[in-house]
Structure 1
Amino acid sequence: MTDTISKARKIKDTILKLMMVLSAGLICSLLLGLIGYILYRGIPHISWMLVSTKPSLLCGTVGILPNILNTLYIIIITLVIVLPLGVGAAIYLNEYAKNKKLVRVIELATETLAGIPSIIYGLVGMLLFVQFFSLGTSLMAGSLTLAIMTLPTIIRTTQESLKTVPKAYREGSLGLGAGKWYMIRTVVIPCVIDGIVTGCILSVGRVVGESAALLFTAGMANELLSVPEAVQAGNAGSTLTVAMYVYAKERGQFDVAFAVAAILLVLTFLINMLAKIAAVRLKQKRG
């Protein structure tokens, strides 16, 4: 009887392991296939003229330099706004807040906000930042909209990371005479750098891939803007995702759209790698 049960369990374990391996293989195959197809279609159409000029209907040229710069501007402005707010809110909720019921309500609210479609954020951003605050269709309005959209992600990832820090670390630091903020700054935050970086990467991925919200707030202009101009109200600009939508949907230039998609993949990979390197450097500095 024992041998029969043991054989049945071995068969069941083998089937489950096989299913998990097949599932992992299928997911990896889909991911690699998608990336490979985009690179295969896009890389042959990437040229220096494409990435170093702006589009001109009079000359009949296609350039995405303004879109690349606008994407970088929006990423930087959004992170500058959302990282202090998100990390600060997570620290307050986990370390300072005494009303646990209120904390649970806020956690539920952030989880709900994280699931709202981006088109809703675009409409809210248009009504709030573009019209009410008179920022106009601009990169600043788009960045503020994306900051609100990515704030729940930063809060939840940082908060869950803070919960993994053992209480003994906090108690030991406080027992040695450290103040609460000094303890958080020197003991807790270095332990959750990975969680903060994870939230940053997820936010960058959503910012880079966003188009619906930016159509309502950042606009579709293709002018080259400097850094001071990018943060001024009224200076609109289209990102790479908006440009890809225009080339694929409105102009039917699928070769250019695939080239933009390939550049987006490379840009996202580089930003994620820089974030990982920054996290390692911060850990080494703290250590």
Structure 2
Amino acid sequence: MEDLSLFSLGILAAALLATGVVAGIVAGLLGVGGGIVIVPVLYYMFTALKIDPAVLMHVAVGTSLATILATGTSSARSHYKRGSVDMDLLKRWWWAIALGVIAGATLAGNISGGALTLVFGFVALAVSANMMFRKDGANLADKLPGSPVKEVLGFLIGGISVMMGIGGGTLGVPTLTLFNYPIRKAVGTAAAIGLIIAVPGTAMSIWFGLGADNLPPLSLGYVNLVGFLLIIPASTLSAPLGAKIAHTIDPSKLKLVFALFLGFTGLRMIYGVLF
């Protein structure tokens, strides 16, 4: 890692704080835990800082999961106060999501950084396409399927999300709305799912990263404490604002812009690994 001047460190700190603000608002607005913003930003920042590519994506994912502990708590609390968290569903679904998290985190801890980057890139493209091209009201069914399909869906949401370093909203919201869930309740419930993902996901990122070579300075396993401490305050304070906006405006135009950002990011990550 190259030495940084005080000016460069100041720019980096400001960028991380700004990332936290944007991530917090997005977490509250779309129920995505902020990780879908944090991971690519950390990925590019760590690339610029010459962090070893072998651990770069692992640290971006682990650090993002750690920030969701705070961002997701703030966002879920805000939605819960508004009655938009489906506690009955969470009571029936949490264990399948948690099993998926354990499986996904174990796989993530044992594959290369390039493979982990490809997972993020391809899923980001799929999510972007869903946001741009899926028509409002296009549902697969009028309600969630019964067992065991419902549990398989929860397992996949947990497993894929933890490998991407994201909260449950990126996959949880489109999944729930496919089964005719009201969008605001889907967003609120997905924010709570983010905590089910982030708690074991963070712990396992720390565990698998202990003793890894060429980690960034001040890292605890695959969780970089500098990024964590800079992003957390901004994201935690801004998450309730996003939740408030979600209940007052039509976010369709914002979702389109976000989908374009996500598609571009996915393509750039895939290109960087394969070419």
TM-score by length of 1: 0.31
TM-score by length of 2: 0.32
Larger relative contact order (C-alpha < 8 A, sep ≥ 6)? Answer: 2
